[in-house]
Structure 1
């Protein structure tokens, strides 16, 4: 019923989620060729390695064919809009104009449906305000809001800005599915085989954990789930954290709590010292597989050929991905929207 193209598709998190909701995704576009294997191996869709700035309306229209409802999805790289860059001059970042090119393709293709996802701070930038204004000028009804992903069953405290737009009538994201009953870390990764720091499960090349230095092994052994480096003996605390300025970073070198959702997965989610990425019960950082599961990727999702897997490459794909569950919620919302339409609004 809905045929989609996924711009800035990455490893396929949004595509996988929309497909679970029943949307047919024909192609994903991304400039990162390293994502091609993951995208095509897991999703019945083509990967097109191309900069969105050179994508034409004609080629997108060819993918749609005579689709009843055409959806153009786009989750532009969020780095220029991230809170990590607040106060920095990001105006020269090459990613900055990408939202304008997404808007250009919407204007030229005129799909019935549009969705985008980004960091919450995207709303503070003029490019986003222009994007929404352009949609409304073209007759789209727009719903947009900050979404707490844990309210929709993601086992991770991740907040994102989601936008849905339709030429067919009023549209909105479905109501939270897990308010007051979050999915926990233990529920989703508690069944995985135990591994040690630096080891890999022989049956799953992605269930591998980064090595720990002797010092960091001592630190994680003294780390409490949900605690911080403040729980360590004084001799284990890094010199930078002993300073007044360092005391404002309590979540680095932290263990997750198994009975709660995990922290936001980042591109460095495999490193114990990069955040609260310590396993809740084992003396190691979470594995790449565990990070992917916390991003709601299926347990059999592949990211690279086994012999090519690196922490940096796969970590980047996982951290940059739209969580599959959020993609599914977006897809369900769009499917319910078109299902509720009067018959006369169906495209010929």
Structure 2
């Protein structure tokens, strides 16, 4: 039996990667970011589906179904993670953020294709004060069109991902004969640490060049003050442990309330990593310093902590690549959810 899938808002392909490993055949993916699509096309070892750079509002559902040779109601899964920055707790946003309308655009495409299941990944903040009304309207629309809704906040560290990463997962199951089978995956028990994943990597060059044998394993030279800061810190410590002379000026005003405490920080070897964000390439943005070396973690280390394979490559400059990695659904989390969806079918 074919388990077919369309991946919307696909980014660099983390969701597709995990779902395909779980047993899904990715028929088509799309994203508005050109570099993310180029990344998918670059990784022919993992992807052979058509990936297109386009806006979801430009997708003609009937035309795409004809192109893919499927009819309405045949697709197994319509998946995606509509951009979530409008709801992120790291951003003071408003419900009027244009990106929030994409939640409903996603659900409209679900109803167009009428798949057996849909999967939506987003930040927990979408269910909070600012996003609740938008989310509930979208869910109500899905329910009106025959879907039972399963929702749960999952932490990626419970599914083989070596980082704290809480995400709201919504799985819609089309009600057939009144029988609903989907259940969220149970935690696997074992937690993987930073040491488990990156401790065996050699030191990267500090001149911004890639390691000779490991792509994207490089380290930019820190400024004098940032080098002093990271040298002062022990594993797991952030800027609240810095002496006043090493604090940024904004943190000297009132270090207890301004900004996030865990910036200018180091990871701990024997703990899971913090959430890998779109700016994990700088330890000034979080606990993204190497546990013992005086540098930020490399792009490759960030990708590994997101559970991308060692040979998975990315297109773009440093900032582009960090953004693609940080915004991705960890493939191992996608795999765990995908497996449970397939088990619900057979």
TM-score, normalised relative to structure 1: 0.90
- Hey, what does 1:343 align to over in structure 2? none
**Aligned to 2:77, which of 54, 71, 75?**
71
Runs of 4+ in structure 1 deviating by more than 4 angstroms, as ranges, are: 66-69, 245-248
Q: For 2:328 and 2:207, locate their aligned partners in 1 and report how far apart those are by CA, in whole Å.
A: 25
Q: What is the Cα deviation at residue 269 of structure 1?
A: 0.2
Q: For 1:135 and 1:90, locate their aligned partners in 2 and report how far apart those are by CA, in whole Å.
A: 20
* Structure 2: gaps of 5 or more residues: none
Aligned length: 331
- Hey, what does 1:192 align to over in structure 2? 201
TM-score, normalised relative to structure 2: 0.90
Over residues 163-197 of structure 1, what are the superposed CA-to-partner deviations in whole Å (9 max), with x where a residue is unaligned? 1111144222111113xx31101101112111254
Equivalent residue runs for 1:288-327 within 5 Å: 288-304=299-315, 309-327=316-334
Residue aligned with 1:312, SS: helix
Equivalent residue runs for 1:188-267 within 5 Å: 188-199=197-208, 200-245=210-255, 249-267=260-278
CA contact (8 A) 1:64 1:70 kept: no
Residue aligned with 1:299, SS: coil
1:84 aligns with 2:90: yes
CA contact (8 A) 2:78 2:110 kept: yes
Q: For 1:80 and 1:338, locate their aligned partners in 2 and report how far apart those are by CA, in whole Å.
A: 34
CA contact (8 A) 1:11 1:321 kept: yes
**Aligned to 1:123, which of 121, 124, 127?**
127
Residue aligned with 2:304, SS: helix
Q: What is the Cα deviation at residue 95 of structure 1?
A: 1.4
Which stretch of the first structure deviates more once superposed, 144-153 or 7-16? 144-153
Equivalent residue runs for 1:159-178 within 5 Å: 159-167=166-174, 168=176, 169-170=179-180, 171-178=182-189
Q: What is the Cα deviation at residue 254 of structure 1?
A: 0.6
**Aligned to 1:276, which of 265, 284, 287?**
287
CA contact (8 A) 1:209 1:285 kept: yes
Distance change (3 Å), C-alpha of 1:303 and 1:259: same
Residue aligned with 2:76, SS: strand
- Hey, what does 1:60 align to over in structure 2? 64
